[in-house]
C-alpha cells in the first residue's frame, strides 16, 4: 500500500499504466520498436489522460501486418535503452488481460460468449483501448461478484 498527502491508497485505487508496443518481431536483440503508446487508468479503469503518450517510427504496412501481440515481448523491448527507466519505475507485476481471458476460458467459459472481440489492428492506441475494455468486461463479469460466481452462473471446478 502506498500513501501520499491525501492518505493511504488501497490496491483497487492504484493507477494502472497501459503500454503497447508494435515491433518488427519478437526478438529484442534483433527487432525494433515501431510504435509505443501509453495510457494511464485509475483503479476504476477510467482513462486519466486521453491523449496519453505516443511515439511512432514509420514502416510499410506489410511489416505491420506480420506482428502479433505479447505483453511480455513488449516488456523485453522496453528493458533496453532508452526505455529502461520507464520499466524500472513500474511495478514488476504485469496485468496481462490475455491471461485473464485464458483463465475465464478454462474456469467460467460462459463468460467468454459476451466478451468484447478484439479487432487485431496492431495500432498501439487501439490495442490498449481494446484491452482496457476487455479488462472492464472481466472485472464486471467475474471479479465484481463477492461470492465468486460469474454472471452466467458458472463456477470453477
What pLDDT, on the 0 to 100 scale, is given for residue 36?
A: 92
Most confident of 23-27, 49-53, 76-80, 83-87: 49-53
Q: Which set of grid coordinates corresponds to residue 63?
A: 511489416
Are the CB atoms for 114 and 141 separated by under 8 Å? Answer: yes
Number of other CB atoms surrounding residue 113 within 10 Å = 7
Are the CB atoms for 131 and 18 separated by under 8 Å? Answer: yes
Most confident of 15-19, 55-59, 117-121, 152-156: 15-19
At the second CATH level, the architecture of 16-143 is 2-Layer Sandwich (3.30)
Query: What global pTM score does this model have?
Result: 0.73
What pLDDT, on the 0 to 100 scale, is given for residue 68?
A: 58
Higher pLDDT among residues 68 and 74, named by residue: 74
Higher pLDDT among residues 60 and 25, named by residue: 25
Which residues are identified as catalytic?
122
pLDDT confidence band for 50 (50 / 70 / 90): very high
What pLDDT, on the 0 to 100 scale, is given for residue 2?
A: 36
Q: With 80 as the cut, is the pLDDT of residue 138 above it?
A: yes
**Spatial distance between the Cα atoms of 79 and 76, rounded to a whole number of angstroms:** 5
**Spatial distance between the Cα atoms of 86 and 69, rounded to a whole number of angstroms:** 20
Domain ranges of the chain: 16-143
User: Grid cell 517510427 — which residue?
Assistant: 57
Amino acid at each position: 500500500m502506498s500513501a501520499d498527502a491525501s492518505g493511504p491508497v488501497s490496491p483497487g485505487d492504484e493507477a494502472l499504466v497501459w503500454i503497447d508496443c508494435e515491433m518488427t518481431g519478437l526478438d529484442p536483440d534483433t527487432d525494433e520498436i515501431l510504435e509505443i503508446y501509453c495510457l494511464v487508468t485509475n483503479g476504476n479503469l477510467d482513462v486519466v489522460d486521453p491523449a496519453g503518450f505516443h511515439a511512432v517510427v514509420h514502416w510499410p504496412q506489410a511489416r505491420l501486418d506480420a506482428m502479433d501481440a505479447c505483453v511480455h515481448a513488449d516488456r523485453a523491448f522496453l528493458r533496453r535503452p532508452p526505455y529502461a527507466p520507464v520499466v524500472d519505475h513500474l511495478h514488476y507485476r504485469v496485468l496481462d488481460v490475455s491471461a485473464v481471458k485464458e483463465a475465464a476460458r478454462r474456469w467460467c467459459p460462459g463468460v467468454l460468449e459476451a466478451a468484447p472481440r478484439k479487432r487485431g489492428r496492431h495500432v498501439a492506441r487501439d490495442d490498449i483501448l481494446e484491452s482496457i475494455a476487455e479488462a472492464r468486461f472481466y472485472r464486471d463479469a467475474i471479479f465484481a461478484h463477492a461470492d465468486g460466481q460469474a454472471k452466467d452462473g458458472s463456477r470453477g471446478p
